[in-house]
Structure 1
Amino acid sequence: MGTGFERNVAAADASARSVALAVLRSGPVSRADLARRLGLSTASLTRLTRPMISSGLLVERQPEGGNRTGRPSTPLDIDAGQAHFLGIKITWDVIYAVVCDLKGTVISRTRAAVTDTSAEAVVKQTVAIIDDHRRRGPGVTGVGIGIGGTVEGHRWVRRVPALGWTGEFDLADRLSASVGLPVSVDNDVRALTQGKHWFGEGRECSSLAVITVGVGVGCALVIDDQLYEGRRGLAAKVDHWALDPEGPACPRGHRGCAHQLLASGQVSARASEGMGRPVSFEECMRLAADGEPVTSQIVQHAAACLGLLVSRVADMIAPERVLVTGDGIELAMLGEDRMRTALVANRSTLADADDVRLVRSDFYAWAQGAAAIAIRRHMLTELPVT
């Protein structure tokens, strides 16, 4: 169990990390507000912040002005330039990479085509991308990887359908051993959610649900300020939830499941069948926006099903906010009225009326989410605070 001294040091370290994390997510923040949020006395807060100010991790901003009387408050903030993190989003055809500072601000970004989707080739290409960024940019403290598969413990990758990976291997360890840096891996939707929770549209929320529509249908949850992974990394798998008993059957035998109704490839297939010629998802959206009847009906029906899906996820954990995003967000944008009608019709009558937001996010935002996974690890386990 350790000595009393060791336990006291561990407790002080945990308290200091909670202070640093609160400033990261809310700064600039006054000492009074910070003490109130964390339930600390002024003396305790001063004791905890003093070494972080001395090290340069925390900085004092200009005192707040205004018409207040008495001594002005001196807000505390994180020195964002103290560390930099590389976030990488791996898709079946492109690897997107961003360098972020400690506050998640994107400093630079690149992309590279995937030429070979085998695990060995993708690992080799990712190592080359990391090494290239380390040569050209600011020093990298840690790396985060977002990938569209089943990931457990920020390490183990078990299944990545888009890349054809079916085995199990420790992707984090493979990369870390090659580049000599801490590497954290997560499912790409959870990584995106981490970025939205700490640095984006869910920043002030202690509970958050993110639903993505695009090539697939994904979901991730933040509960009591914690990104929820679930057993074996399988939490919030909503892609095969049944939404329409009269809908088309998917290859797994489900009728009217979320993937079959909302995934961009399936929407494209229904549009192609209805139009009697090949129609891409992008063209389907353009035609529907112009009022073409076949594609408009497809989009409106899919939007209603999306509203049902959002209502079920929202009622499950009653989050402060629900974000709907992804590369297929245009479907929700075009059918927003239908989506929200279905949402209200199927959701608890006690729910907030304005807690669902539609958010455009390109793949660099997903890479920023991967960087947020690395920043989270750094703040919670590696950051020297005492």
Structure 2
Amino acid sequence: MDPRPAVPAQPPSASAGEVYEHLVRWGPHARTDLARRLGLSSPTLTRLTRELLELGLLRELPPQPQIKGRPQQPLDVAEDHARFIGVKITAQRVYAAVVTVRGVALEELSATLGPVTPEAVLEQTVALCAPLVAAHPRVAGVGVGIGAQVDGQGTIRASAMLDWHEPFALRAVLEERLGLPVSVSNDFHALLEGLAWFGVGRRHRSFAVVTIGAGVGVGSVEGEAVHRGRLHLAGLTGSLPTITRDGRGVPLREAASTAHVLRSARRRGAIGDGDGLEVLVDRARAGEGSALETVHDVAHAVAVASAGLVGVLDPEALILGGEAVDLLRIDGDFPDFLRARLTAAQRDVVIRFLPADFDDWARGAAVIAVRRFITGREPG
């Protein structure tokens, strides 16, 4: 008997995938409304939805009475048809979440990393995913987000975060070990995908994102398309210019990355040598002066850089996240200072904060797997 899990049926064609994707993202629709929105003829839409119903990808909802004419019977996705696993790899831990096709988390696990060699990271990822696959037998794919340069075949070309300098075929090895389709993406690009599909970015046609943590990410989404750049390196360098409170021009990563922030806090005596970000956040919330000075430094640098980003991209919303994002929440003047640096016309930009945890990152990785399931190809 083949021990590999049976992968649930996928949309059988690009046109069927388009119908399925629309229902995944925007919820139930009547057939007439669905045909109109997708520009399909009634016979074509009928044929495509029949195929999807027969494969178990869709379900029919109870008829809805109409003011005029016959009741409409909406179609929706069958959320029990498939499950997906999203994995977020950091330099300290691996996080994994099982989600529905709509990104609703069903179960989450995490484990500490010891060594961060490719082999150790691979083994820990498999160790987290294997029990999730066993507990959720309809897993259709795995998405992995990792702080690295990733090529179109899911090979890690290099990772400064993990100190990897040789190529490692992570996707190929994981597919062999798990027996499932695996998609591998840079973690920041995966986060952007997740925000555009199911996160706070979903309600905006365009948005910019700045994350501060172990690394600094700066990215944008326009019309649901993540800007990745010619080499898939857009937003991954942390080199967006900013200005410190004492007037120095520096790359944002030199003012807002976790390592820099903790060094600055220790020089001020805000935290001890063995203390980390959580201690700094707690002391700043308690109003300790040296901790607040560090917070103000970070908030100033991020506000200046973010204002420049908004000024250039003119997005509907600015989304701020990362493990150190709570430092920006503590500084109550941050939004006003940022807006003061914008033109009057852009000061209505929506500012949103993500949680400091990795849930959105893991869900973003799962979205990469969902998109491959629907289209049969990698995003981007």
TM bucket normalised to smaller: 0.7 to 0.9
Corresponding residue SS for 1:218: strand
| Range that drifts further, 80-89 or 280-289 | 280-289
Give the TM-score of the pair, scaled to structure 1: 0.85
Please state if 1:372 is matched with 2:367.
yes
The AA in structure 1 aligned to 2:230 is R
Residue 331 of structure 1 deviates from its aligned partner by 1.0
Rounded to whole Å, the distance in 2 between the matches of 1:107 and 1:258 is: 36
The AA in structure 1 aligned to 2:362 is A
Residue aligning to 1:9: none
Corresponding residue SS for 1:80: coil
Residue aligning to 1:310: 306
The AA in structure 2 aligned to 1:201 is V
What do the CA deviations read for 1:252-304 (whole angstroms, capped 9, x no partner)? xxx53211211222222212211276253222222222332322232123212
What do the CA deviations read for 1:304-339 (whole angstroms, capped 9, x no partner)? 22122222333333333332112111111112x432
Distance change (3 Å), C-alpha of 1:154 and 1:359 = farther
Distance change (3 Å), C-alpha of 1:204 and 1:29 = farther
The AA in structure 2 aligned to 1:28 is P
Corresponding residue SS for 2:80: helix
Please state if 1:28 is matched with 2:28.
yes
Retained in 2: the 8 A contact 1:153–1:233? Answer: no
Residue aligning to 1:345: 340
Please state if 1:301 is matched with 2:328.
no
Rounded to whole Å, the distance in 2 between the matches of 1:16 and 1:34 is: 12
Residue aligning to 1:5: none
Corresponding residue SS for 1:230: coil
The AA in structure 2 aligned to 1:286 is D
The AA in structure 2 aligned to 1:20 is Y
Residue 352 of structure 1 deviates from its aligned partner by 6.2
What do the CA deviations read for 1:189-237 (whole angstroms, capped 9, x no partner)? 1112212211121224443332211222113332332223222220123
Residue 79 of structure 1 deviates from its aligned partner by 0.7
The AA in structure 2 aligned to 1:207 is S
Retained in 2: the 8 A contact 1:142–1:181? Answer: yes
Retained in 1: the 8 A contact 2:245–2:300? Answer: no
Retained in 1: the 8 A contact 2:109–2:128? Answer: no
Corresponding residue SS for 2:293: helix
Distance change (3 Å), C-alpha of 1:338 and 1:92 = same
Rounded to whole Å, the distance in 2 between the matches of 1:359 and 1:20 is: 28
Corresponding residue SS for 1:203: helix
What do the CA deviations read for 1:339-384 (whole angstroms, capped 9, x no partner)? 22232233343336142211215223322211111111111117xx
**Which aligned pairs between 1:83-102 and structure 2 lie closer than 5 A?**
83-102=82-101
Rounded to whole Å, the distance in 2 between the matches of 1:191 and 1:116 is: 24
Taking only aligned residues, the RMSD between alpha carbons, in angstroms, comes to 2.6
Retained in 2: the 8 A contact 1:61–1:76? Answer: yes
Residue 81 of structure 1 deviates from its aligned partner by 1.3
For this pair of structures, how many residues does the alignment match?
365
Retained in 2: the 8 A contact 1:238–1:258? Answer: no
Retained in 2: the 8 A contact 1:305–1:339? Answer: no
Rounded to whole Å, the distance in 2 between the matches of 1:97 and 1:41 is: 41
The AA in structure 2 aligned to 1:343 is L
Residue aligning to 2:330: 334
Retained in 2: the 8 A contact 1:64–1:73? Answer: yes
Retained in 2: the 8 A contact 1:16–1:48? Answer: yes
Corresponding residue SS for 1:312: helix
Retained in 1: the 8 A contact 2:326–2:356? Answer: no
Rounded to whole Å, the distance in 1 between the matches of 2:341 and 2:185 is: 32
Rounded to whole Å, the distance in 1 between the matches of 2:374 and 2:246 is: 46
Retained in 2: the 8 A contact 1:206–1:224? Answer: yes
Please state if 1:211 is matched with 2:229.
no
Rounded to whole Å, the distance in 2 between the matches of 1:276 and 1:197 is: 37
Give the TM-score of the pair, scaled to structure 2: 0.87
The structure with the largest helix share of the pair is 1
Which structure 2 residue ranges, 5 or more long, are not aligned?
1-11
Corresponding residue SS for 2:319: strand
Corresponding residue SS for 1:77: strand
**Which aligned pairs between 1:102-251 and structure 2 lie closer than 5 A?**
102-153=101-152, 155-237=154-236, 239-244=238-243
Retained in 2: the 8 A contact 1:323–1:356? Answer: yes
Retained in 2: the 8 A contact 1:98–1:107? Answer: yes
Retained in 2: the 8 A contact 1:142–1:378? Answer: yes
